[in-house]
Amino acid sequence: MIDPQLYTPMTGRILICAGSDSGGGAGIQADIKTVTALGGFASTALTALTAQNTTGVFSIQEVPVSFIAEQMRVVLSDLGADCIKTGMLHNVEVIEIVAEVIEREVLNTYLVVDPVMVAKGGHRLLDVSALDALKSLMVTKADLLTPNIPEAELLTGLNITDLDGMRRAAYKVLELGSKAVLLKGGHLDSEFLTDLLVTENSEQIYNGPRLNTKHTHGTGCTMASAIATCIAQDYPLGEAVQRARDFVFKAIQTAPGIGNGHGPLNHAHTVVIKNEQTMDNSFSG
């Protein structure tokens, strides 16, 4: 038998509303891997299917909005959620239905909104006409919004070239209604990686080394899901962000190096067999 004391109990229920990535590096696949690797339980509501790999997104298949709503409702009514994380909500109808279910079915559940707009290879994942709906229906409900610099520029209309620009944009996003904003600085031209977390009453800057690699597909999804998991496990927001940054850094550092484009991360770097002999014995009977 496997000794249960060798394993950390699973804690934190995260409902993820996002699109699928057939390449496994981003989207719902990266979300599930991240939540699981951090000891949480992931449930899902698929908002879209994509055919993509490390070189780009080739096509998108829509999911009927009634089915998106049904996925969310049946999960919430039975399994529940300690945190909800949204990713790719690609058009007005999808944004409206997800916002409606959250408003009607969810009480006092932390909401992490990752405003997915453009894939790593440049393919748009949000209809141009849906930006206003994203602002009015999702940003206003978010306990935490996690835009990268291009996304923050689209949300605010500002040009961001440095930390001061990040600060101006972050506070402008706060004015849209989100309770907290983590503006990720990965797109800045700098040898360091700087992220900025702001709330109405606080500001925290996170600095770290930048890894020189093209294997960064799915970093945004991974970061948001890691934060959501830590929040569901009762970590304070500032500590949740730091733990998520550490997780993503190691996942990039140990990336498998596969694919011809922007390769996936190693989400499984936290998975360690604490007692190999015990595992061997358990499988041998």
- Is residue 222 flagged as an active site residue? no
- Is residue 219 flagged as an active site residue? yes
C-alpha distance across the termini of the chain, in Å? 8
- Is residue 11 flagged as an active site residue? no
Confidence of residue 283 (pLDDT cuts 50, 70, 90): very low
pLDDT surpassing 70 at residue 160: yes
- Is residue 221 flagged as an active site residue? yes
- Is residue 34 flagged as an active site residue? no
- Is residue 87 flagged as an active site residue? no
Taking CA atoms, 73 is separated from 39, 47, 70, 100, in Å, by 24, 14, 5, 11
Given 36, 156, 216, 222, the catalytic residue: 216
Nearest-angstrom CA–CA distance, 66 and 87? 18
Given 27, 218, 259, 263, the catalytic residue: 218
Given 194, 219, 222, 229, the catalytic residue: 219
Q: Quick one: what percent of the chain has pLDDT higher than 70?
A: 90
pLDDT for 279 equals: 47
46-66 average pLDDT score: 95
- pLDDT tens, position by position, 149-159: 999 999 999 99
Given 184, 185, 222, 229, the catalytic residue: 184
pLDDT surpassing 50 at residue 181: yes
- pLDDT tens, position by position, 96-134: 999 999 999 987 899 999 998 876 655 667 888 889 999
Q: What is the 3-state secondary structure (H, E, C) of 9-58?
A: CCCCEEEEEEEEECCCCCHHHHHHHHHHHCCCEEEEEEEEEEEEECCEEE
Given 23, 24, 220, 263, the catalytic residue: 220
Please state the pTM of the whole predicted model: 0.92
Q: Where are the domains of the chain?
A: 12-284
If you average pLDDT over each of 124-133, 246-255, 271-280, which comes out highest? 246-255
Q: In the CATH scheme, what is the code of domain 12-284? A: 3.40.1190.20
Given 221, 230, 259, 263, the catalytic residue: 221
